[in-house]
Amino acid sequence: MLVALVIWCSAGSPTFAQPPQPTERVTFNEAIQRAIARNPSSAIAAADILRADGLLKEARSDARLHITGNAQSTTLNKSVEFEGTTVTPQTSVFALLDIRYPLYAPVIWARRVQAADNLNVAELSAAEIRRQTAAATAEAYLAIIARRRVIDANIRSREVAQAHLDVATTLERLGSGTRLNRLRAAQEVSIDDGFIETALFALYSAQEALGVLLVADGPVDTDDVPAFEIPPDAGVSTALSGRADLKLFTAQQHAAERVLADNSKSYLPMFEGIFQPQSTYPSQFFVPANSWQALLQMNILLFDSGFRAGERVVKQAAVDTARAKVSDKTTNIPSEVRIAREGIASAERVLATERVAAEQASQVVDIVNLSFRLGASTNIEVIDAQRRARDADTNVAVAEDALRRARFNLLNALGLFP
């Protein structure tokens, strides 16, 4: 339709300032896939997953074997001798291996499981971010379709207004019309020109928004109209089991509950097995060249001035918040599904009504134009009919967009998008 507009403008009508035209067109599915793959939000989510995986590896390492090596060279100003025997050499080297393994470490083991929960939350958060990115892309895509439809309606209105202006001009030239009638007709053409210009800029803005979401170098145009087919067996149970946001909130609740339950483990002791082989060179009088020691070490915090009690309050608050989010989402989802279904039914009824009204308005324009040529109607009646026809066409475009969005909203509410 934009190509037709350019040809029409160059054929003698006033030209419009054309915004930069998109060099790329994408289908709806291509737009969704590209947005998910390229949008910075997805990259940030992937980095969060990587971070959570790294923290999980750190937590696992704390519960496993640790080996630390230490070497030390000591040089004295002079050696120590006793009855002609060197007790302490002037230069000596001491080496030690510290091998530790947590035999009983409830706090460390709890942190490992909590880190696994956090990784799961990060993965679900990434899925929710992808859903939000896809939804924003769909909104931009639908906006382009709707705004192009408005341009089509305004162009048709302008063509009708121009035809009426031509008739009014001819009648004035023949002496059977008035200058007032011609000016009224010309005014209507100018008004439609303004509407077209506004609609063109709105379309360009939507194309730029889609280009930003797709990380393109400029505006991107649409290449198809999505159907948004709704599975007949999809219902509230589908939404409750498939919604990415509900899965995320539920995982956050489970993670917070585990952290709270593990708070009591901070009161338990930790037992650690330690094995330390060591070597000294050269061997000294009172120190063997090679030796080792084994230790069983226990650590327990006896008094913390209320720190752990305060920690528990904070963790309980996190659990309460997470549970409230899950409860709120669980309550809202059935309502969202019902509203979306009713929205589709209502949009279908409105669209059917608006299409009938547009067809009737078009017939009225034809009849009034013919009557005006025959002198049976006034110029004001023609202009009023044209305006009503333009409004009716615009209302059809709005109703079509509302129906597409209602179908999209239902898919989104059911957790079936993308």
User: Which CATH number goes with the domain that contains 243?
Assistant: 1.20.1600.10
Tell me the mean pLDDT in the region 186-203: 92
pLDDT tens profile 240-265: 998 999 999 999 999 999 999 999 99
Domain-located, residue 76: no
pLDDT tens profile 113-137: 999 999 999 999 999 999 999 999 9
pLDDT bin (cut points 50, 70, 90) of residue 18 is low
Q: Angle at the Cα of 55 (from 50 to 56), degrees rounded to 5?
A: 95
* pLDDT in the model for residue 14: 54
Sorted by sequence, the CB contacts under 8 Å of residue 205 that are 6+ apart come out as none
**12 against 150, higher pLDDT:** 150
Domain-located, residue 115: yes
pLDDT tens profile 308-361: 999 999 999 999 999 999 999 999 999 999 999 999 999 999 999 999 999 999
Domain-located, residue 367: yes
Indicate if the pLDDT at residue 159 is higher than 70.
yes
* HSE toward the beta carbon, residue 44, CA cutoff 13 A: 8
Lowest mean pLDDT across 11-15, 24-28, 267-271: 11-15
* pLDDT in the model for residue 321: 97
pLDDT tens profile 378-394: 878 888 888 888 899 99
Indicate if the pLDDT at residue 6 is higher than 60.
no
- Helix, strand, or coil here: 388? helix
| Cα Rg of the chain, angstroms | 38
**Backbone phi and psi for residue 81, each to the nearest 5 degrees, phi listed first:** -120, 150
Domain-located, residue 119: yes
Q: Is the peptide bond before 232 cis (omega within 30 degrees of 0)?
A: no
* pLDDT in the model for residue 271: 95
* pLDDT in the model for residue 10: 39
CB 213 within 8 A of CB 137: yes
Tokens of 132: 């939000």
CA distances from 268 to 251, 262, 299, 311 (A): 27, 11, 9, 16
Give the start-end residues of each E strand in 208-323.
Answer: 220-222, 270-281, 290-299
Helix or strand (DSSP H, E) at 88: strand 85-88
Tell me how crowded residue 170 is: count the other CB atoms within 10 A of its CB: 13
Helix or strand (DSSP H, E) at 99: strand 91-104
The residue range of the domain holding 128 is: 2-65+105-277+307-414
pLDDT tens profile 65-84: 999 999 999 898 887 777 66
Tell me the mean pLDDT in the region 23-45: 92
Tell me the mean pLDDT in the region 13-42: 83
CB 236 within 8 A of CB 253: no
Question: Structural domain tally of the chain?
Answer: 1
Tell me the mean pLDDT in the region 264-276: 94
pTM: 0.82
Q: Is the peptide bond before 277 cis (omega within 30 degrees of 0)?
A: no
- In eight-state DSSP terms, residue 6 is H
> CA 208, CA 226: separation in Å to the nearest integer?
20
* pLDDT in the model for residue 258: 96
Domain-located, residue 355: yes
> CA 156, CA 362: separation in Å to the nearest integer?
10
> CA 281, CA 166: separation in Å to the nearest integer?
111
* pLDDT in the model for residue 15: 54
Domain-located, residue 352: yes
DSSP states along 42-81: HHHHHHHHHHHHHHHHHHHHHTS-EEEEEEEEEE-SS-EE
* pLDDT in the model for residue 9: 41
Angle subtended by helix axes 179-213 and 106-174, to nearest 10: 160
**289 against 80, higher pLDDT:** 289
Helix or strand (DSSP H, E) at 111: helix 106-174
Q: Whole-number mean pLDDT of the chain?
A: 89
Which residue, 382, 383, 394, is CA-closest to 358? 394
> CA 52, CA 58: separation in Å to the nearest integer?
10
> CA 160, CA 221: separation in Å to the nearest integer?
28
Indicate if the pLDDT at residue 186 is higher than 70.
yes
**19 against 208, higher pLDDT:** 208
Domain-located, residue 92: no
> CA 86, CA 284: separation in Å to the nearest integer?
8
Domain-located, residue 97: no
> CA 74, CA 91: separation in Å to the nearest integer?
6
- Helix, strand, or coil here: 121? helix
